[in-house]
Structure 1
C-alpha cells in the first residue's frame, strides 16, 4: 500500500470509527480507560487491562470490538486490503494519540501513558 493511500485509509477509518461508537459507549469507554480497566491493543481492538473487570465493562469491550471489526472489514473491502492491515494502522494511530494515564499495549505488555 502506498503511503498516501495509507494516510487516506487512516483518515477515513478514524472518522468512521469514532462516529460509529454511540455517545453512551464513548462516555463509558472513557471512564473504563481512565479507571485502568481497558486499554488499546496493538491489533486495533480494545483489551481488558484488568481481567477482573466488571461484567458490564467486558460487555462494553465486546460491543465496541464488534463495531470496530465491522468497520475494519467495511473499509478493507472498499480499499482492497486485508482487514488486519486496517486494524493495525488504526492501532498505531490510536495508541499514538492515547491520553495520559490510559493503558496501551506494547510488545512487552501493558504500559500506562
Structure 2
C-alpha cells in the first residue's frame, strides 16, 4: 500500500526523531540516480582531484548533466568541488567546481 507523500514525510520525520534510519521514496529518476547537477558555466573542467592545480581530464559544457551515485564534496582553499563519475579519471571519480553547477 502506498502512502500519500505528506503521510510519508510525517512518518519519516517521526521515525527519524526516534533514531530509526528511514529512506523515503524519491520523486524522480534524477533523484534515484544520486547527486545530479547541471553545468551553468560555458565550460567546466572535470579535475582528477579536488584541487585547482590538478589535471583537467574532461571538459563539460553549459547544459550538460553531471553527477555521481553518491553525494560528496571537497574543498581546497576557497574552492569547493562536487564529485562526478567519469571514465576519464584514473579512479572513475572526477571533481567539478561547485560554482559551475546547480543541483537538478
Pairwise TM-score range, normalised by the shorter structure: under 0.3
Q: Which structure ranks higher in relative contact order (CA pairs < 8 Å, sequence separation ≥ 6)? A: 1
**If you compute each CA radius of gyration, which structure gives the higher value, 1 or 2?**
2
Scaled by the length of structure 1, what TM-score is found? 0.26
The structure carrying a bigger strand percent of its residues is 2
The structure carrying a bigger helix percent of its residues is 1
